[in-house]
Chains A and B, each alone.
Chain A
Amino acid sequence: MIHVYGIVDELDSLPPLEGLDDAPLERRRVGDLELVVSEVPREEVTQEAVLRHAEVVEALMSRSRAVLPAQFSRPFSGDEDLVSAVTAKAPELGQRLHRVRGCVELGLRVVAPLAETVPEAKSGAEYLRARLDEEHRRSQLVAQLDEPLARLSQETAGGAAGSDVFERAYLVRAEDVPAFIDAVRELEAANPELSLACTGPWPPYSFGAETAK
């Protein structure tokens, strides 16, 4: 079976690494696109395999003009499957490869302080009013956090998951990364009650498809 690491643009040479299960990395051409793959005997999702996959993708990023990381998922049964799957997405992939050139992904996670559970409201109307306030406060906070960072990014992806968490990925030009980190530090200082983590630089995992921005 074939495991895919990503689609690469102008890859110099394969990194001196082995893939999953220590199998050799291979280059595979599908139309105008080039993929990096390896043979796997069976599908197995272990932490070790995930780490190795990530390592390969990082190495590909440093050796090419651009890389679109492939999601770690069910491997392909053979070349035919792989080719038809890639061909179906070829135009979009080509565009995305161009879009992410020279950029990295930065991630932000924010957790609000533990919200008080909505108090047992005395009436239905009171409950709804409390909900509305909560909603307003939440969207204001999200906008406040996202806006300065979105300004420094080419694209953003992801969205808040739960009621007290905010999670977003930003596609940032390499030269804009220091300014981005400064902006995050400013947000930290302005919102001391929040728990926040910014990570990166990552290969553009979240930007392999068209995003809203």
Chain B
Amino acid sequence: MSSDLRPDLRQQVTLLDLVDRVLNKGVVLSGDITLSVADVDLVYVGLRVLLASVATLEEQGMPVAIGDALR
């Protein structure tokens, strides 16, 4: 029963989810990724797209040559 949980643990878990939400979730209004090194931005975006395209091809049941996904 959750009411049996220690108050200090409840507090920590509450704080964890709160801090995580405030810092990592929420609407991002500052426009694009605000990483300080512009070159690195491009790398991140490219990799994320790569991951997504591989995942999509996998879902379609096809084994994927990573090289294909890069094209």
Decide if A and B touch, CB cutoff 8 A.
yes
Interface residues of A (CB under 8 A from B): 4, 6-7, 45, 47, 50-51, 53-54, 57, 68-74, 76, 82, 85-86, 88-89, 93, 96, 105, 107, 109, 169, 197, 199, 202, 205-206, 208-209
What distance in Å separates the Cβ of B1 from its nearest Cβ neighbour in chain A?
A: 9
Q: How many A-B residue pairs have C-beta atoms within 8 angstroms? Tell me.
A: 78
Using C-beta atoms within 8 Å of the partner chain, give the interface range for chain B: 10 to 19
B56, CB-defined interface residue at 8 Å: no
Looking at the assembled complex, report how far the CB atom of A76 sits from the nearest CB atom of chain B, in whole angstroms. 7
User: Which A residue's beta carbon lies closest to that of B9?
Assistant: A197
Cα-based distance from A85 to B27 in the complex (angstroms)? 11
Interface residues of B (CB under 8 A from A): 13-14, 17-19, 21-31, 34
- Apart from A50-B22, A85-B29, A199-B17, 5 more pairs, CB < 8 Å: A6-B27, A69-B21, A69-B25, A72-B26, A205-B26
- Distance between B12 CB and nearest chain A CB, rounded to angstroms: 10
Contact: B22 with A53, CB < 8 Å? yes
Q: List, sorted by A's number, 16 A–B pairs whose CB atoms are closer than 8 Å.
A: A4-B29, A50-B23, A69-B27, A71-B22, A71-B25, A71-B29, A73-B28, A73-B34, A74-B34, A76-B29, A82-B29, A105-B21, A107-B21, A109-B17, A208-B25, A208-B27
